[in-house]
């Protein structure tokens, strides 16, 4: 899914702030796998992968905010 290192690093960084270790590990494994899988993409495929990375980064950030809010409110047991 991801081909550029900054997006890769941003996703890994965001994963660290997930409220549960399981969720953080899940995100980290998927990011690393996708980065390795798509490292050699070029041209339009690379652009598409970069756009997808930005969408996924936004999704991870939204999940982080929501899950941390649930944890702070006592609805999420960690």
Q: By C-alpha distance, which of 28, 25, 32 is closest to 1?
A: 32
Share of the chain above pLDDT 90, in %: 60
Mean pLDDT by 10-residue block, N- to C-terminus, for the chain (78 residues)? 68 94 96 88 88 92 96 89
Structure tokens at 32: 């690393």
Q: Kindly provide the residue ranges of all beta strands, DSSP E only, lying in 1-78, ordered along the sequence.
A: none
Q: Provide the pLDDT for residue 6.
A: 78
Distance CA 69, CA 72 (A): 5
pTM of the full predicted structure?
Answer: 0.84
Output the pLDDT for position 71.
94
Give the CA distances from residue 58 to residues 27, 41, 77, in Å, rounded to whole numbers and listed in that order.
13, 22, 24
Q: Where are the domains of the chain?
A: 5-73
Q: What is the pLDDT of residue 1?
A: 47
Q: Minimal CA–CA distance to 1: which of 54, 71, 66?
A: 54
């Amino acid at each position: 899914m991801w081909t550029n290192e900054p997006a890769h690093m941003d996703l890994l960084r965001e994963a660290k702030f997930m409220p549960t270790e399981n969720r953080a590990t899940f995100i980290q494994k998927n990011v690393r796998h996708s980065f390795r899988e798509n490292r050699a993409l070029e041209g339009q495929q690379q652009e598409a992968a970069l756009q997808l990375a930005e969408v996924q980064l936004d999704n991870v950030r939204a999940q982080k905010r929501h899950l941390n809010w649930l944890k702070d409110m006592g609805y999420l047991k960690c």
